Amino acid sequence: METTDKKDDAGLSEVDYGFYCNPDPQGDVYAESRIWGMPPTAAVGYGVCNSVSDLEAALPGPIHPANPLKYGIYKALQNAGGRQVLYAVVRNPESIESWQDAFNRLSKNRNAYAIVPLSDDIDVKRAAIG
């Protein structure tokens, strides 16, 4: 197994794990995956941003579409009219229960006006509607 650490075009750190096998003597087969990690401070799972400086302090990496949570919060701040933006770090995006837990916790906050999941999964969107 071959491992390389590098920065992508947005300046985000990534770790690529390249696995290879040789099914026939004519050539190698390669597979690649990207693993993005949240800092230990995000282990709480929930946060509040009142400004871009709050966002910069709360989450790592640049504000860029390749960093979807930070970029989404940034866009929400731009459209929030000076109001705070609450966010949740979903621990397992493949688990609808993780999303529902985040929605339940955010919806109990009286300051939450709307919940906007950063997901294309229709079941996640249905869960957000409640």
pLDDT in tens, 14-69: 444 444 444 555 665 555 444 445 544 444 478 899 999 999 998 888 898 888 88
* Domains contained in the chain, number: 2
Report the phi/psi class of residue 50: left, alpha or beta, with left for phi > 0 and alpha for psi in -120 to 50: alpha
User: Do 97 and 118 lie in a common domain?
Assistant: yes
Instruction: Give the residue numbers spanning the domain of 31.
Output: 2-35
pLDDT in tens, 104-130: 888 888 888 888 898 999 999 999 887
User: Do 45 and 61 lie in a common domain?
Assistant: yes
- Per the CB < 8 A criterion, the answer to whether 46 and 58 are in contact is no
Between β-strands 2-7 and 46-49, what pairing exists: parallel, antiparallel or unpaired?
unpaired
User: Do 94 and 122 lie in a common domain?
Assistant: yes
- Per-residue model confidence (pLDDT) at position 37: 53
Exposed e or buried b for every residue in 42-66, given b needs 16+ CB within 10 A? beeeebebeeeebbeebbebebeeb
